[in-house]
Structure formats: structure tokens, C-alpha cells
Amino acid sequence: MRPTLTWEPTGEGVPASTDPAAVVEAVEAGGVVVLSGAGLSTESGIPDYRGEQGSLRRGHLPMTYQEFTGEEQARQRYWARSQLGWRAMTRARPNAGHRAVAALADAGLVTGVITQNVDGLQQAAGARDVIELHGSLDRVTCLTCGNLSDRADLDRRLREANPGFEDTAERHRAARVNPDGDVDLPEDAVRTFRVVPCAVCRTGVLKPDVVFFGENVPPGRVAACRLLVDTAATLLVLGSSLTVMSGLRFVRQAAQAGTPVVIVNQGPTRGDRWARHRVELPLGEVMSAVVDRVRP
Ligand SMILES: [Zn+2]
């Protein structure tokens, strides 16, 4: 069974507004914990999953944990496509939304950031202590010995193991990257790709240090997020449809504790019924306006 990838809006919950006042008010009061999703990175050129230009609408089907760990061919396809996607990802730069969150954290108004994104852009904008709920494409883990290593090291090893692949990469430079660092690549290019094992134990299967669809977020990481949400004066959701439970559960937690939930997202979200406000405006625009308004 495939994990939940889509969800049908029920029309329940708060109607959308185009007035950022609720966001300004929440941020001015301080104690804001941010939960961000793929919508925050679309202005950096990384499409989201479910928005207007979302990758799922283009037929992109993210690989599941079960496929990745169960099939050698699936891993070959993953790493071949990732080899192109990861480089496109490293060219992406933080946008106004990322910079605004970092500025508000610096000002002490945002007290914690949980991101569902694996692109590292929030940290690149200068935010510290970001909890990467779904991990990071920057790191690779060994499923056998547990060693963590840099994706950049693996990039070098994969390039050495696949000398001709550079040309393929060049031909597909324009391929659209997906939010999980995947790109579309013809099967014949995939089938010749050589995957390398762990450099430490020499045999272990390498996996990007990201949480796949169908995989659970490590319990310790969930607990850290729960503690953070417990301390929040407001939970501010930025650019997430909250389709998957890994993020939605924190919205429920906040609402059950009586903590206001404010959502900024293009389109309805699965968390709307627990939200006090939902603002439907481009994130860079809203968050830059918020920074201008709260700055003394
Ligand atoms: Zn290993």
C-alpha cells in the first residue's frame, strides 16, 4: 500500500484571507514556532508536491522507503536521478521567505523552526537550530553500520564510478528537479548507473538521510518537535498543505493545547479545521511585509 500522497479538501475550517494582519499580530507577540513546508522553497525554484505547479501534478511519484530498501533497481534509479537532482538543489538559493524567518528568529520573535524541507535553504538563510523533520539531502546514512557522511563526498565517488554520466547530466541539465531532489531521467540512462556501497563498512547500502514516504520520522526528533510546539505562543505554518501526518500532528497538538495556529499557504490545507487564520498570499511577500511591520 502506498502512503498518503494526496488529500481531498473538505471545505471545513477557516476561510482564506488575503490580509496578513493575523501573521503580523502573532509575530509581534513573539514566541512563534514555525512549521515550514515545500511552499516556502518554491520561490527558490524548487517546486512543491501539491501546489499549482506541484510535482505530483506532473506525474512525479516519490519513491517509498519500501521500494528503496527492498529493490536494488529502485536504489539504482534513485541515485542516478538524485545525482542530477542534488546538483540542481545545490544551485538553489534562499528566498525572501527564508530570509524573513531567519531575521525574525534573530530578533527573538520566532523561537523555533521545524522544517519539512530537505533542501537546507532555511539554514542557508542564517537560521540556527532548525529541526529538519524529514532530514537533509546534504547527508547520507549507511543502513548497515549507521555511518553518516556528506552527500558531497558521495557525489565525488559516484562521479568516479560513472565517468560517462557527466554527458547524460549535461543533456538533462534543464530537467525539472522535484522537492525530494529527484529528476526525471530515461530508464536507459538509469540502467547503466553504478551505485557505490558505504565507504566505511564497504558493503552497506547507502540511503540519503531523509525520511522517505512510508517511513517514520525518528521518535527522538518527533519528541523534540513536540517539546518545541508545547512552548509555542503561536504555531505558524508556512507553505505546507499538511497532507502527511508527520507535520499535521503538530497542528493538532497545538490546537488541542489551545495554542493558536496560523497558516500561510496557497490553497486549502488539511490543517485548516484546526487553524484560527489562513492567509493566502505569496510567502516571500507576506513574510517580508511582516518583518517590515515588526521591526522597530
Ligand atoms: Zn556502512
What is residue 61's predicted lDDT score, i.e. its pLDDT?
75
Instruction: Give me the active site residues, please.
Output: 134
CA–centroid distance, residue 159 to ligand 1 (Å)? 19
CA–centroid distance, residue 60 to ligand 1 (Å)? 30
Listed residue (110, 112, 117) closest to 129, CA to CA: 112
What does the alpha-carbon distance between residue 248 and residue 34 come to, in Å, rounded to a whole number?
A: 13
What is residue 1's predicted lDDT score, i.e. its pLDDT?
47
What does the alpha-carbon distance between residue 148 and residue 48 come to, in Å, rounded to a whole number?
A: 27
Question: For residue 262, how far is the Cα from the chain centroid?
Answer: 19
CA–centroid distance, residue 93 to ligand 1 (Å)? 32
CA–centroid distance, residue 69 to ligand 1 (Å)? 15
Query: Mean pLDDT, consecutive 10-residue segments, the chain of 296 residues?
Result: 64 87 97 97 85 70 91 94 85 96 97 97 96 96 97 96 79 67 76 95 97 94 98 98 93 98 95 96 95 86
Dihedral sign for Cα atoms in the order 83, 88, 91, 94: negative
What is residue 178's predicted lDDT score, i.e. its pLDDT?
74
Instruction: Name the phi and psi angles at 67, rounded to 5.
Output: -65, -45
CA–centroid distance, residue 61 to ligand 1 (Å)? 28
CB 261 within 8 A of CB 35: no
CA–centroid distance, residue 153 to ligand 1 (Å)? 14
